[in-house]
Amino acid sequence: MDPDLLSPFLPAGKKVEVRESRPVPTRKMCRVDVDGRWAVMADLQWWEDDVDVSTVVTANPETDKAAQSAGNGFFYTGTGAVKLAKGCKNPEHARHLLYTSIQVNDSDLGNSAAMKKLAAAFTDAVERSRECS
């Protein structure tokens, strides 16, 4: 992904660190810290295919009040997004759908247009990754 898509959401600082974790088998997290404080969290979330997308949206703090964009399964605000990874299948997650999620810690850095671009690029990259085999 183009780092310029992430930069509007990063506070000023000297040191950027990226950490990955998988707290549960259905979730993979990537956290971006600036000077030791989390700035942005990007997640992959496998949800059972019968779960309504509104449940996914409300489970993500920065998108619980988001309006749906023109595309089905894409919700975003200036500080968060949830997007369905279309056509994504993984034998380890049968009968599940993959959603990407982004959360920005600093509401002063919110930018809806920039979030829409970041979430779309992130989801496109995930759809091309090994996560979607």
- For residue range 90-129, what is the model confidence (pLDDT) as tens digits? 999 999 999 999 999 999 999 999 999 999 999 999 999 9
Average pLDDT over residues 66-77: 74
- CA 2, CA 122: separation in Å to the nearest integer? 9
CA distances for 115 relative to 15, 42, 71, angstroms: 22, 12, 15
Inter-residue contact 99 to 85 (CB < 8 Å): yes
pLDDT at res. 52: 84
Max distance between CA atoms of the chain, in angstroms, equals 44
Does the pLDDT at position 70 exceed 70?
A: no
Confidence tier at 19 by pLDDT (50, 70, 90): very high
pLDDT at res. 53: 82
- Select the more confidently predicted residue: 54 or 16: 16
pLDDT at res. 106: 94
30-39, 68-77, 92-101: the lowest-pLDDT one: 68-77
27 CB burial (10 A radius; 0-12, 13-18, 19+): middle
Q: What's the first-to-final CA gap in the chain, in angstroms?
A: 19
Average pLDDT, the chain: 91
As given in the structure block, the two tokens for residue 11 are 């506070």
Q: What is the DSSP letter of 11?
A: P
7 CB burial (10 A radius; 0-12, 13-18, 19+): exposed
